[in-house]
Structure 1
């Protein structure tokens, strides 16, 4: 269960006032793709291109270049493949698969902008072109892994939505990924709609329950957040982060006793959990149990803390030291 930590959100609220293909395709990426064959086969395709060039049939010439481009792609001659796809598209600009395959070649050469342009054109020509969406998603995931480019993130979210429609049996995983990206974009309403769709398709999806709980929590709907976390923990009772987050919700509701119990359960499952230690120490301070709070803060001395957690720890120490 991929629960995310919310300690920064909790810290602000409670202390100072949390390249891979998405759907592996068993079919080859290039369409159509010839079986692996000796390099000398290119001579045969050179002859086919020459024969087509001698005729007047533009579509036959386009197909000849396209087919030779696929062989060159198969042989990992990506610049040669791109040159043939260029010729094919000059002769037949409606050849969506040539745009798609050229996009693949550009992506493999690291020319990502050109690849995205070709995928977009392939999809414009064929809006139900599933493989073009899948390969664009793969590239967008790679590009957004270390980038917060909103245009790319929005395109990725849109593509997840398109694939959810094109592949109904995979709606839940694609909608889930769409929701995660929409959270990154700050579009909480659309993100919640995506997680709602996941849970309609797969009511026991614990990740979607948790993500939706986070959205409810951030919106101040504590009862809805608590309901989703309760459901998630019934399905996955060893999820430390879910106990921690439920503790935050109960703490925000003023239920300090049960919040401490949840933080404690999170620590039983994950003893080196600094956010849960800080949260429980703060709750102990509110109860007037300074001894227990100090014990939790001492456990933090054995853990590596980032600057924000260090600041939270020091703020708690100051609270404890004040009579």
Structure 2
């Protein structure tokens, strides 16, 4: 390829990459992949194109293709925290936790305060039952940016999983201070209040969450559980029906609905719901 042709190829590849960025931001990942593939064909050494195509594949759950692209990007840019951290996310999705943790730790040596990498490592550590380490990462995220509702909610979720409901309540309240309309925080705080037997307060938060996001299965199921605790079974069933319609794979919603059906002596239906819950989470 002569110099003019090489320059033309690079120019076209740059425009393709720019268009792919816009496609990516529009969640049109397949269109982005098509442009990035052409850009890579024109300029095989364009690391950023390999990197972005890997991320598109990851978001589309094409994990083998994503791994291949991140590996190629890292051949060109071995110290890219983004590529290493993103590859860690792929390993986590493939249930390869040791490789995922190795990548997260490497990426964090290159970019110690990178929020999304800390967040990803915290999530994986929690899934592995390494809750104290996860808590350390989530606390660091809050120290880095105490005005992130997501970080407060993430730590609140972990406290909830640890049965530390008072701490969870404090964190969800902080998240709502930052973002009063956060459906996630309203749902989390509502469910935490339910666990503390503060059902009327729980109902208020969960109703606010449902009003903001009428098809949010988590908010609907939690409100259904709260209504059941209050022995308002007809309303509970209505919410739980909506929850499983919105998210047919939501095992906990079937479990709660099964409990309500059992209370109502509708045992055949209860058995069906409990069976569905067990099938979804054996």
Q: Tell me the alpha carbon deviations over residues 239-266 of structure 1, each in whole angstroms, 9 at most, x when there is no partner.
A: 1111111112112222111110001111
- In 2, are the aligned partners of 1:144 and 1:153 still within 8 Å (CA)? yes
Alignment correspondent of 2:269: none
Higher percent of residues as helix: 2
- The match for 1:187 among 78, 86, 96 is 96
CA distance in 2 between counterparts of 1:228 and 1:68 reads 50
Distance 1:278 1:74, change over 3 A: closer
| 2:200 corresponds to 1:285 | no
Supply the RMSD in Å over aligned alpha carbons: 3.3
- What is the Cα deviation at residue 139 of structure 1? 4.3
| 2:65 corresponds to 1:156 | no
- What is the Cα deviation at residue 153 of structure 1? 1.3
Distance 1:257 1:74, change over 3 A: closer
| 2:105 corresponds to 1:196 | yes
Q: Tell me the alpha carbon deviations over residues 54-86 of structure 1, each in whole angstroms, 9 at most, x when there is no partner.
A: xxxxxxxxx6xx45744765897xxxxxxxxxx
Distance 1:222 1:112, change over 3 A: closer
- What is the Cα deviation at residue 132 of structure 1? 4.3
Contiguous gaps of at least 5 residues in structure 1: 1-62, 77-106, 124-130
- In 1, are the aligned partners of 2:203 and 2:227 still within 8 Å (CA)? no
CA distance in 2 between counterparts of 1:250 and 1:181 reads 26
| 2:236 corresponds to 1:322 | no
Q: Tell me the alpha carbon deviations over residues 3-35 of structure 1, each in whole angstroms, 9 at most, x when there is no partner.
A: xxxxxxxxxxxxxxxxxxxxxxxxxxxxxxxxx
Correspondence 1:1-323 to 2 at 5 A: 66-67=2-3, 69-70=5-6, 73=9, 131-141=45-55, 144=57, 147-165=60-78, 168=79, 171-322=80-231
- What is the Cα deviation at residue 311 of structure 1? 3.9
Distance 1:208 1:73, change over 3 A: closer
Contiguous gaps of at least 5 residues in structure 2: 13-30, 233-282
Secondary structure of the corresponding residue to residue 212 of structure 2: coil
Q: TM-score, normalised by structure 2?
A: 0.63
CA distance in 2 between counterparts of 1:241 and 1:185 reads 25
Q: How many residues align?
A: 213
- What is the Cα deviation at residue 228 of structure 1? 0.8
- In 2, are the aligned partners of 1:195 and 1:212 still within 8 Å (CA)? yes
Q: Which of structures 1 and 2 has the larger relative contact order (alpha carbons within 8 angstroms, sep 6+)? A: 1
